[in-house]
Amino acid sequence: MQNAPSLDMQAELYRKMQVVRLLEEAIGRLHKEGRTRGPIHRCDGQEAVGIGATAALEREDIVTSTHRGHAHYVGKGVDTGRLMAEIMGRATGTCRGRGGHMLVADREVGLLGGCGIVGGALPVAVGQALAFQVRRQPNVVLAFYGDGAAQIGACHEALNAAALWKLPLVFLCEHNLYGLTVHARAQSSVADLASRAVGYGIPGEIVDGNDVLAVHAATARAAQRARRGEGPTLIEAKTYRLLGFSTSDVGGYQPPEEVAAWRPRDPIPNMAAHLVAELGAERVAALDADAAAEVEHAVAFALESPLPGIGELDAGEYVKGAA
Ligand X SMILES: Cc1ncc(C[n+]2csc(CCOP(=O)(O)OP(=O)(O)O)c2C)c(N)n1
With a CB cutoff of 8 Å and minimum separation 6, the contacts of 11 are: 275, 279, 283, 287
Using the rule CB under 5 A, give the single segment among 141-149, 159-167, 274-282, 301-309 that binds Mg ion.
141-149
Closest to ligand X by CB, 44 or 79: 44
Q: Which of 69, 81, 146, 231 binds Mg ion (CB under 5 A)?
A: 146
Residue 213 binds ligand X, judged by CB under 6 A = no
Burial class (CB in 10 A: 0-12, 13-18, 19+), 246: middle
Cβ(20)–Cβ(51) below 8 Å: yes
| E runs forming strands in the chain | 62-64, 111-113, 141-146, 169-175, 178-179, 182-183, 204-208, 233-238
The span from the CA of 69 to the CA of 104, in Å, is 8
Residue 179 near ligand X by CB under 6 A: yes
Residue 17's CB is within 10 A of a number of other CB atoms, namely: 26
Sheet order of strands, 169-175 included: 111-113, 62-64, 141-146, 169-175, 233-238, 204-208
C-beta of residue 169 within 8 angstroms of C-beta of residue 91: no
User: Is residue 266 close enough to count as binding ligand X by CB under 6 A?
Assistant: no
- Binding to Mg ion, residues 168-187 (CB under 5 A): 176, 178-179
Does residue 100 bind ligand X (CB under 6 A)? no
To Mg ion, the closest distance from the beta carbon of 236 in angstroms equals 12
State yes or no: residue 114 binds ligand X (CB under 6 A). no
Which of Mg ion, ligand X, none is residue 110 near (CB under 5 to 8 Å by kind)? none
Would you say 92 or 254 has its CB closer to Mg ion?
Answer: 254
Stretch that binds ligand X, among 8-16, 143-151, 255-263, 267-275 (CB under 6 A): 143-151
Binding part of the chain for ligand X, among 14-22, 31-39, 140-148, 196-204 by CB under 6 A, reads 140-148
116 interacts with ligand X by CB under 6 A: yes
147 binds Mg ion (CB under 5 A): yes
Report CA-CA distances (Å) from 303 to 85, 86, 89, 204, 298: 7, 11, 10, 43, 9
Residue 118 touches which of ligand X, Mg ion, none (CB < 5 to 8 A by kind)? ligand X
- Residue with the closest Cβ to ligand X? 146
Residues in 21-50 that interact with Mg ion by CB under 5 A: none
- Where on the chain is the footprint of ligand X (CB under 6 A)? 67-68, 116-118, 146-149, 176, 178-180, 241, 245
- Where on the chain is the footprint of Mg ion (CB under 5 A)? 146-148, 176, 178-179
